[in-house]
Amino acid sequence: MQRNNVDPRYFGELLGYNRAVALDNPTRWLIVSGHESRDDDDRICCVGDMDGQIRQTVRRLEETMTHAGFALSDVVQIRVVTTDIDDMRANYNTLPQLLADAGCRPASLLAEVNRLSDPDMLVESEAVAAQ
């Protein structure tokens, strides 16, 4: 598969997102449903801690992808929703840092919603990956 990152956008030294990702001949796709900051007992962790929830959400996303034979670097699109856009923006550097550390350069969406499926959730992320 050949990948072309279209019009990358950067935040300081960190990659923020690509306006688009063009793929030629992907052989496998992975559509990843919403992930949140659940602990090993399936409870929301890091309650009230946006940075902690971002980290745990990415950790869980990466676990699912690894289980399916993909890596975080295979993500071509990520959608992030939050219940508090101001808190998310204050902690946003965490997300591009985690993605950049994994070599992940996705097209992305960040949006605020009124609430998520659990009242303790501050952020949820879903992704599309290709190989």
For residue 13, pLDDT beyond 80: no
Domains of the chain plus CATH, in order, are 2-130 (3.30.1330.40)
| One-letter amino acid of 3 | R
Segment 50-59 mean pLDDT: 98
pTM: 0.91
The β-bridge relationship of strands 107-112 and 75-82 is parallel
| pLDDT exceeds cutoff 90 at 11 | no
CB 23 within 8 A of CB 3: yes
H helices then E strands: how many in the chain? 3, 6
Q: Give the pLDDT score at 7.
A: 86
